[in-house]
Amino acid sequence: MNTQEVANRLVELCRSGKYDEAQNELYSQDAISIEPEGGPWQARVEGMEGIKQKGQQWAEMAEEVHSAETSDPIVAGDFFSVIMKNDVTFKGMGRAQIEEVAVFGVKDGKIVSEQFFYTPMG
């Protein structure tokens, strides 16, 4: 798959709530994930095991997901970005609207990096 095809497939799976399937199908085993400093997750995670653990943490923190949106991708070379919006009630933290820009790097038809840009909750 080229970058556009990977981007389209990721958006399709995210819009269907199939995040585990997206990771299993589209991510390289040695992918990296970068979050802003001060967020609830480790700032940098390497490898699919760490990325999956981070996703599990998110699922455990979320009491209820009221809505989730993923924009159409914007592709440039080996990278693409999407805007993700989530309206979530977190355990012990209340309800929050999270809006972030996610940038993905693609190599040999697999996502090799993801980086999220948002203001961490205070």
Would strands 110-117 and 94-107 be described as parallel, antiparallel, or unpaired? antiparallel
Domain locations along the chain: 3-117
Q: What is the pLDDT of residues 54-94, one digit of tens each?
A: 888 888 889 999 999 999 999 999 999 999 999 999 998 88
Q: What three-state secondary structure class fits 42?
A: coil
Domain 3-117 listed as CATH 3.40.50.150: no
The percent of residues above 90 in pLDDT, for the chain, comes to: 79
pLDDT at 41 over 80: no
Identify the pLDDT of residue 115: 97
Separation of first and last alpha carbons in the chain: 39
Q: Residue 72 and residue 50: Cα distance in Å, rounded? A: 27
pLDDT at 31 over 70: yes
Q: Residue 6 and residue 27: Cα distance in Å, rounded? A: 10
Q: What is the value of pTM for the model shown? A: 0.93
Which amino acid type is present at position 45?
V
pLDDT band at 122 (very low <50, low <70, confident <90, very high): low
